[in-house]
Chains A and B, each alone.
Chain A
């Protein structure tokens, strides 16, 4: 087994996250797909950190985690405020601009 296995696993997880964003309609699950993509990229960064023998990749992954936390806070606040006005958490209901 080589470190490439981790990279392939990361690629698969990233693709599943992207497919979740594309296919699901519930805004919260779409958001979870984004989180899965961020996690997959973190796995990639940690693996590359091990590959190169420096801690820079782990530091990048740490920053990704912090930014993900900030993103989740704002995103969930947006979902909550949309739910308050539209009574729906489906991304398809946000079509006010459609004639």
Chain B
């Protein structure tokens, strides 16, 4: 990049260099932003992960917004941030998340030599474009200060809604068509009929499942933790009151121990009197 920066002034025509249209601040801005933009754009080419590529493109776009503002296109600078960085790149990131962030590039070449041809074409395009831009003869820069007399957005509004009003309407209809096209493209037809609430309720009754809510754990036991089964009126533990996950993991507490404590208390003794094995739950009779 520095070699290119050194080579550029020599290749540029002298007609533009002496006009003094660009200030020193703008020159500094350009030489700071241009390498950043080129490196970020190369990141798009070399990044392994597509999210990194998207972030590199965001850097390029925000730097472009700075350059637009520096060139007197204030409205476009704002639109660049709002539309490109705010809407389009977020759409890209959204689709990246939808499609899968880890979808890596395949390294198998389906077209033989495509990589080299691609590199050659890219470098050739750089050579052709820079050559054409460098050798073309431009008029003396006028600057947009005069056109921006009543502020840049006002000037653009006059141009869009007076001179280019038909193009504006065509573009508007294009946007509507694009939105409809996206709707149609991502539409999925429902393969089965939708079940409503009544059908679901009928299915549950016909299946003979437990219709009411399951009993809560800890009810009527002397302990209200999730792992202690509820006791029915006869003092027997109700297995289904403990959450299924705890039952599957085997983390259910021994219900008969807690049932026996009730009997002991009713008999006038202490709840945790006899040593009935190791009590892992701790003595938390409050």
Contact = CB atoms under 8 A, between A and B. Distances in A.
B60 A18 contact: no
A2 B12 contact: yes
A9 B106 CA distance: 31
Interface residues of A, number: 73
Contacts of A69: 83, 87-88, 175, 178
Given A77-B185, A79-B99, A46 B71 contact: yes
Interface string B158-169: 011001100100
Which 9 residue pairs are nearest across A and B when measured between Cβ atoms? Answer: A53-B142, A19-B122, A11-B129, A2-B16, A22-B118, A70-B178, A77-B185, A77-B182, A15-B126
B201 interface: no
B2 interface: no
Interface string B1-34: 0000000100011001101011000110010001
Interface of A: 1-9, 11-20, 22-26, 28-29, 31-33, 35-36, 39, 42-43, 46-47, 49-56, 58-59, 61-63, 65-74, 76-81, 83-84, 88-90, 92-93, 95
Given A20-B44, A46-B73, A63 B30 contact: no
Given A4-B133, A12-B129, A14-B129, 14 more contacts: A14-B125, A16-B122, A17-B44, A23-B122, A25-B106, A33-B44, A42-B80, A46-B67, A53-B146, A58-B152, A59-B164, A65-B76, A71-B178, A73-B182
A73 B163 CA distance: 28
Interface in B117-134: 117-119, 121-123, 125-126, 129-130, 132-134
Contacts of B125: 14-15, 18-19
A89 B67 CA distance: 33
A95 B159 CA distance: 46
Contact of B178 (A3, A24, A74, A93): A74
Contact of B83 (A14, A65, A79, A93): A65
A3 B70 CA distance: 12
Interface string B179-195: 10110011010000000
10 contacts: A3-B22, A3-B141, A4-B133, A15-B123, A33-B44, A46-B73, A50-B142, A51-B138, A53-B142, A58-B76
A46 to B, nearest CB: 5
B114 to A, nearest CB: 8
A78 B185 CA distance: 7
Interface string B76-87: 100110011001
Given A49-B73, A50-B71, A65-B83, A39 B64 contact: yes
A67 B171 contact: yes
